[in-house]
């Protein structure tokens, strides 16, 4: 199985600030068809995960442009700019390139 | 709009079988796959299995011997059955729609907490 390693485990940021979360995979996430099926999810406290980013850098419907994804191969990053109170929660990366789908262990974002 | 909602017992005895239902609306099960994902308390996400739009299934190899996913398209329902439950199966169980061409899960249910205890 593809192991997804997220760093940091947690981070604290001031409102209006910017943060980056790293996700590294144990194998390349480039599919035979050329796509990289790496998604980012946010799980707000007491809620189920919600899709933020798919295929590395595509924002899902209704997601603010403050969220951006980048990277390639085995090294992917989520950047959140102009952090707002509603951004707090746990962020997960997840890969769908190779079966079974796997997730990172999460990064908890706290607001200072 | 797209909605998924899990239902089932909150408490299951050790060694018993878990049966959960995911009722969907806003889309057809013959057009989208549905996944089951679980999350132990305070922990991360574990993919359990998928039932695809054609009715075929894929399972996490660690659970395959205990897990079965099926559906009733006329009722827009997906079913999970897992036998021989142990305390480590205590988790929130979520169903999530397979996003077409995204390689991820675009809509999730609220989840149902299942506790395995005598």
- Angle, CA B75 vertex, CA B70 and CA B78 arms, to 5°: 25
Chain A residues in contact with B22 by the CB 8 A cut-off are: none
Q: Is B8 helix (H, G, I), strand (E, B) or coil?
A: coil
Determine whether the interchain pair B45/A92 forms a contact, defined as Cβ–Cβ distance below 8 Å: yes
**pLDDT band per the 50, 70, 90 thresholds, residue B36:** very high
pLDDT tens digits for A52-90?
Answer: 999 999 999 999 999 999 999 999 999 999 999 999 999
Q: Is B74 helix (H, G, I), strand (E, B) or coil?
A: helix
Average pLDDT, integer, range A43-52: 97
Chain B residues in contact with A38 by the CB 8 A cut-off are: 103
pLDDT tens digits for B44-93?
Answer: 999 999 999 999 999 999 999 999 999 999 999 999 999 999 999 999 99
Partner B contacted by A105 (CB < 8 A): yes
Q: Which two tokens stand for residue A72?
A: 């390639």
Partner B contacted by A94 (CB < 8 A): yes
Task: Tell me the C-alpha distance between A69 and A62, whole Å.
Answer: 15
Partner A contacted by B33 (CB < 8 A): no
CB pairs under 8 A between A and B: 65
Task: Tell me the C-alpha distance between A15 and A111, whole Å.
Answer: 7
Evaluate whether A111 touches A88 at the Cβ level (below 8 Å). Answer: yes
Partner A contacted by B76 (CB < 8 A): no
Share of chain B above pLDDT 70, in %: 100
Alpha helix (H) residue ranges in A1-112: none
Query: How many Å lie between the alpha carbon of B95 and the closest alpha carbon of chain A?
Result: 10
The DSSP bridge pattern shows strands B105-108 and B46-51 to be unpaired
Give pLDDT, residue B98. Answer: 94
Supply the mean pLDDT for chain A.
97
How many other C-beta atoms are found inside a 10 Å radius of the C-beta of residue B38? 21
Determine whether the interchain pair B58/A100 forms a contact, defined as Cβ–Cβ distance below 8 Å: yes
Give pLDDT, residue B101. Answer: 85
**Residue that wins the pLDDT comparison between B103 and B15:** B15
């Amino acid at each position: 199985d593809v192991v997804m390693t997220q760093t940091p485990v947690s981070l604290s940021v001031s409102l209006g600030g910017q943060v980056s979360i790293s996700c590294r995979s144990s194998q390349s996430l480039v599919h035979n068809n050329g796509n990289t099926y790496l998604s980012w999810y946010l799980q707000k406290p007491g809620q189920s995960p919600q899709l933020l980013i798919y295929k590395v850098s595509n924002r899902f419907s209704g997601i603010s442009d403050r969220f951006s994804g980048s990277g390639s191969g085995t090294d992917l990053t989520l950047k959140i700019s102009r952090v707002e109170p509603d951004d707090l929660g746990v962020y997960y990366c997840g890969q769908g390139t190779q079966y079974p789908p796997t997730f990172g262990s999460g990064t908890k974002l706290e607001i200072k | 709009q797209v909605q998924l909602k899990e239902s089932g017992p909150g408490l299951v005895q050790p060694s018993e079988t878990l049966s959960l239902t995911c009722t969907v609306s806003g889309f057809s099960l013959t057009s989208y796959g549905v996944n089951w994902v679980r999350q132990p308390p305070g922990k991360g996400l574990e993919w359990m299995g998928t039932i695809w739009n054609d009715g075929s299934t894929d399972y996490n190899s660690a659970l395959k011997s205990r897990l079965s996913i099926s559906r009733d398209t006329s009722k827009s329902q997906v079913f999970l059955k897992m036998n021989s439950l142990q305390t480590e199966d205590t988790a929130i169980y979520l169903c999530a729609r397979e996003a077409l061409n995204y390689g991820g899960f675009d809509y999730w249910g609220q989840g149902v907490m299942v506790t395995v205890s005598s």
